Amino acid sequence: PQTRVYNFTVHPLSITRLCSSKSIVSVNGKFPGPTIYANEGDRIIVRVTNRAQYDITIHWHGIRQILSCWADGPAYITQCPLQTGQSYVYNFTVTGQSGTLLWHAHETWLRGTVYGAIVIFPEAYPYTFPDEEHVIILGEWWKANVEDVETQALQAGNGPAIADAYTMNGLPGPLYNCSLQDTYVMKLHRNKTYLLRIVNAALNTELFFSIANHSLTVVEIDGDFTKHYTTNIIFLTPGQTTNVLLKTDQGGGRYYMGASPYMSAVKVPFQNTVTLGFLVYGESSTATTSNIPSFPASNDTNFVTQFSNSLRSLDDPSHPEGVPQTVDKSLFFTVGLGAKPCAPNQTCQGPNGNNFTASMNNISLILPKVAILQAYYFNISGVFQSTFPDSPLSVFDYTATNPPNNLTPESATKVNVIPFNSNVQLILQDTSLLGAENHPIHLHGYSFYIVGQGFGNYQASSANFNLVDPPRRNTVGVPVGGWAAIRFKADNPGVWYMHCHLEIHTTWGLAMAFIVPNGIGANQTLPPPPSDLPAC
Ligand code: C2O
């Protein structure tokens, strides 16, 4: 194994998109930020220096951070943010995992521009080594400052403004105003096999991705290999990554590739914008331009369901290590939106003049002023309570068309403690209190198996689990008006954030944290924090 050292300087960058200029927060003056490359087993050291006017942290999304929770990055969960002028060294090993992941800012909405890819080359590929590879990061772009988009969404008490554009490697593409020059072009060679590493780094939008005239073979999701699945269109929630094999086996020319939004809560599909780029290969003299690929409608939940049901891990009876077959700790969390009274002096555009909120088990997370991990490790009292319930305190018909309207969530900082090494099963149940929606729930510190999912209320008696080869991910799209069941072994001590990866929902409180205490002996014990850990 090697040590890979990166320096990330976070600083303002002036940038023009859609004919309008603004200053964004960037890493090393790049947008998207630099890609981190490593081999499985390597140590990665990133010295982050904050030269921006905002507090910041960086999170290595999907890195399991085994015995290195101090390097995970979510603000006020595992560390206090780096203030302007401060530095912090993130130091971790990529143990037993490979594939495509992403890094992003994990403080307020800064990940709207502060993001990049992580590429970890595996010890061995379970498929023919591709000839070449490319990273495609999908995102959103606002003409306004993302921090202002956040403030505005919160002050008005309504949802966030829809992005002015979707982007591919930071570029909106030809369908947007004056963006013809800002189009991502991927030059390939004919008759080769490429590995495309596709990342959804958007703040608030789930996306379909497709390439005209070409099929895509999914081989990996969220850094875990899958059985091959060939399709014309893939689907990714924010925080998800998908590796696909692409054969340049067409006649040559210019082919459109693009991404369009999935909006699970919208009943009537509507025309929304599409980010496009080009894939180019073959003789330029005979080059023809393809049609734009056709995308599912913006509310095509059937496509999303069928796609996620088609993904399978490599596990099977001959590969038995993975899926927990028994359960030691059984959890049931509701996830959903709700309403809370409008604050005095505020005009709220949420339901009945109220404010939007979001919760798990009807508890809306308030981020503390001291990081939970620091408080836990140093026994600082009064920062959090260890009383996050294993199941909802009020049981109701979660997905009813006329749900109860008297469930105002409690705002609190509560964690759920999981015994070290237990096999956890967690049912995530969407609620329709304020309109059902697909919630991409992301767990830090672990990858989990998605053993089942369905619509309506979860019922153990009728749930059909796949305990043989369920897909393994770090972010699961809980079906709109439905549920997902995940399993993992809690063998990594620390404080692990779990939240909706639609940033507006996290801001509204759709988040909680687990504490996994140390096991026995040094190889099951979280070491002390690095000496440069920022203080609050
Ligand atoms: Cu990708 Cu807690 O985030």
pLDDT tens by residue, 440-469: 999 999 999 999 999 999 999 999 999 999
534 in a domain, yes or no?
Answer: no
pLDDT at 285 exceeding the cut of 70: no
Percentage of residues in the chain with pLDDT exceeding 70?
99
321 in a domain, yes or no?
Answer: no
The mean pLDDT value for 291-298 works out to 95
Ligand 1 centroid–CA 498 distance in Å is 8
State whether 21 and 86 are in the same domain: yes
Q: Which residues contact 45 (CB under 8 A, 6 or more apart)?
A: 3, 4, 5, 6, 89, 90, 91
Q: What is the pLDDT of residues 349-390, one digit of tens each?
A: 877 888 889 999 999 999 999 999 999 999 999 999 999 999
**Residue 239 alpha carbon, nearest atom of ligand 1:** 1
238 lines ligand 1 (CB under 6 A): no
Ligand 1 centroid–CA 288 distance in Å is 41
**Residue 61 alpha carbon, nearest atom of ligand 1:** 1
pLDDT on residue 320: 63
Domain boundary among 95, 125, 155: 125
51 in a domain, yes or no?
Answer: yes
**Residue 104 alpha carbon, nearest atom of ligand 1:** 1
pLDDT at 426 exceeding the cut of 90: yes
Q: Which of 20, 26, 24, 22 is nearest to 8 (CA)?
A: 26
431 in a domain, yes or no?
Answer: yes
State whether 139 and 45 are in the same domain: no
State whether 211 and 295 are in the same domain: yes
**Residue 102 alpha carbon, nearest atom of ligand 1:** 1
Ligand 1 centroid–CA 239 distance in Å is 7
**Residue 62 alpha carbon, nearest atom of ligand 1:** 1
**Residue 111 alpha carbon, nearest atom of ligand 1:** 1
87 in a domain, yes or no?
Answer: yes
Ligand 1 centroid–CA 117 distance in Å is 13
61 lines ligand 1 (CB under 6 A): yes
**Residue 73 alpha carbon, nearest atom of ligand 1:** 2
CB neighbourhood size of 397 (10 A): 13
Ligand 1 centroid–CA 73 distance in Å is 9
pLDDT on residue 277: 97
- Which residue's CA lies nearest to atom 1 of ligand 1? 61
Rounded CA separation 232/293 (Å): 9
The mean pLDDT value for 42-55 works out to 98
Helices (H), 55-120: none
Percentage of residues in the chain with pLDDT exceeding 90?
85
State whether 386 and 510 are in the same domain: yes
Give me the DSSP letters along 288-335. Answer: -B-PPPP---TT-HHHHHHHHHT--BS-STTSTTSS--S-SEEEEEEE
pLDDT on residue 445: 98
322 in a domain, yes or no?
Answer: no
State whether 83 and 165 are in the same domain: no
439 lines ligand 1 (CB under 6 A): no
Q: What is the pLDDT of residues 58-112, one digit of tens each?
A: 999 999 999 999 999 999 999 999 999 999 999 999 999 999 999 999 999 999 9
Q: Look up the CATH number of the domain holding residue 59.
A: 2.60.40.420
239 lines ligand 1 (CB under 6 A): yes
- Which residue's CA lies nearest to atom 3 of ligand 1? 61
336 lines ligand 1 (CB under 6 A): no
Q: What is the pLDDT of residues 137-148, one digit of tens each?
A: 999 999 999 999
State whether 132 and 121 are in the same domain: no
State whether 113 and 7 are in the same domain: yes
State whether 457 and 364 are in the same domain: yes
Ligand 1 centroid–CA 61 distance in Å is 6
Domain boundary among 71, 106, 125: 125
Grade residue 286 by pLDDT with cuts at 50, 70 and 90: low
Residue 90 belongs to what domain range? Answer: 1-125
Rounded CA separation 345/343 (Å): 6
Q: What is the pLDDT of residues 4-44, one digit of tens each?
A: 999 999 999 999 999 999 999 999 999 999 999 999 999 99
State whether 172 and 156 are in the same domain: yes
Hey, what are 343's tokens? Answer: 């604050």
536 in a domain, yes or no?
Answer: no
111 lines ligand 1 (CB under 6 A): no
- Mean pLDDT taken over the chain: 95
Domain boundary among 97, 125, 153: 125
The mean pLDDT value for 497-509 works out to 97
More reliable by pLDDT, 533 or 283: 533
532 in a domain, yes or no?
Answer: no
**Residue 238 alpha carbon, nearest atom of ligand 1:** 1
Ligand 1 centroid–CA 280 distance in Å is 33
SS3 label, residue 523: helix
59 lines ligand 1 (CB under 6 A): yes
State whether 472 and 428 are in the same domain: yes
With beta carbons less than 8 A apart as the criterion, state whether 137 and 219 touch.
no
Ligand 1 centroid–CA 497 distance in Å is 8
The structural domain count of the chain equals 3
With beta carbons less than 8 A apart as the criterion, state whether 300 and 268 touch.
no
The mean pLDDT value for 293-302 works out to 96
State whether 492 and 346 are in the same domain: yes
Grade residue 403 by pLDDT with cuts at 50, 70 and 90: confident
Q: Which one-letter DSSP state was computed for residue 379?
A: T
Grade residue 284 by pLDDT with cuts at 50, 70 and 90: low
Ligand 1 centroid–CA 60 distance in Å is 8
With beta carbons less than 8 A apart as the criterion, state whether 107 and 115 touch.
no
104 lines ligand 1 (CB under 6 A): yes
Ligand 1 centroid–CA 474 distance in Å is 10
442 lines ligand 1 (CB under 6 A): yes
Ligand 1 centroid–CA 454 distance in Å is 24
State whether 37 and 65 are in the same domain: yes
SS3 label, residue 155: helix
Ligand 1 centroid–CA 291 distance in Å is 35
Q: What is the pLDDT of residues 232-254, one digit of tens each?
A: 999 999 999 999 999 999 988 99
